Amino acid sequence: MAKKAKIGVLGASGYTGSELVRLLLRHPRCEIALLTADRRAGQEMRSVFPQFSHISLPKLVSIDGVNWAGAGLDLVFCALPHGTTQDVIKRIVAAAPAIKIVDLSADFRLADVSAYERWYGHAHRAPELQKQAVYGLVEVHRRTIRHAKLVANPGCYTSCAELPLIPLIKAKAIELSEIVIDAKSGMTGAGRAVKETMIFSEVSEGFHAYGVGHHRHMAELDQEFSAAAGREVIVTFTPHLVPMNRGILSTIYVRGKRGRTPADLHAILSKYYAKEAFVHVLPFGETPQTRHVRGSNLTFIGVANDRIEGRAIVVAALDNLVKGASGQAVQNMNLMLGFLETMGLEQVALFP
């Protein structure tokens, strides 16, 4: 039997951390060797997430107490809050440069450190490492991810917009000045920390937009769309919070270029993703629902006619905790460690 890779999960007491544990437990080539959670240090994972009560897992420890040089880890996932990860990763790289890293925060997603400072309100604390970071949207950057030491896992909203749009932008099939992304996310996208605006009575039976005109994911979208187009691209993006646990649905409005019809756009996407395991394009005219991808690493994409001639409606759905975060992180890990890309991620969506 092949030797198992030793894996660490930093921030295991959060939603993306626990989702990583769930996925890694079924991965045939991985052993969970380290779990950190500073506020829960010394506790068992089962006391934080009772669904793991029947499973033997390492006790939660503080990041500050980890001996990186002697930990024997092959890869760590950083599921830590934005703004804290840069310092942690600097320490890991300095002490144990052989450890590969997948960062689920936004700290290394923006190649331009000045853009990071502008959008996140503080200077980038590891600009030398930013130069090494690879943006981890697998279906677009697969080749560079295979050889990366540090991968910046994409955001959930951005994944749900970039996967349907980048192939169309690369094909020069849509008008770049007329892209509108209307996106909705479940509650887990806001993290597990207690916030007054996120308690049940504040969000149930309601539906609202937030970050209107200035959401941080806009910088990520600008970066990836501009790279695909070879010129600056700025799109309209508005996120909304929906009182459900999981899922993102993006309804995207585009205009075909040079007479391209919605059927033409559908054909481009179908061809681009024909051999992809985790992105599925529905038959023309059908659109996905979040419930159809729940718990899976899948993204479903649909294309339909708009009643305005020349315009198309593109709808994408994914699970924000899986393909939008931890599942995509495992997909990146598989590439970085030379495993089969789909390993540990083959689960079908949970329905109903």
Look at residue 49 in the predicted model and tell me its pLDDT: 95
SS3 content of the chain, % helix, strand, coil (to 5): 35, 20, 45
CATH entry 3.40.50.360 includes domain 157-320: no
The DSSP secondary structure of 43-54, one letter per residue, reads: S-HHHH-GGGTT
Tell me which residues of the chain have a pLDDT lower than 70.
Answer: 1, 190-194, 196-198
CATH 3.30.360.10 occupies which residues in the chain?
157-320
Tens of pLDDT, residue by residue over 235-265, are: 999 999 999 999 999 999 999 999 999 999 9
Q: Which residues are catalytic?
A: 156
At residue 30, the pLDDT reads: 98
Check: CATH 3.40.50.720 for 5-132?
yes
pTM of the model: 0.95
Question: Which residues of the chain form CATH 3.40.50.720?
Answer: 5-132
Residue 327, phi then psi, degrees to nearest 5? -65, -45
Place of tokens 């394009």: 281
What per-residue confidence (pLDDT) applies to 21?
98
- Report the pLDDT value the prediction gives residue 191, as an integer from 0 to 100: 67
What Å distances lie between residue 45 and 13, 142, 214, 224, CA to CA?
8, 33, 37, 37
Where b means 16+ CB within 10 Å and e means fewer, 157-181 reads: bbbbbbbbbbbbbebebbebeebeb
Q: How far apart are CA 347 and CA 72, in angstroms?
A: 29
3-state DSSP assignment of residue 63: helix
pLDDT computed for residue 205 by the predictor: 83
pLDDT of 111-169, one tens digit each? 999 999 999 999 999 999 999 999 999 999 999 999 999 999 999 999 999 999 999 99
3-state DSSP assignment of residue 301: strand
**Which runs of consecutive H residues, i.e. helices, occur in 147-261?**
156-170, 200-203, 217-229
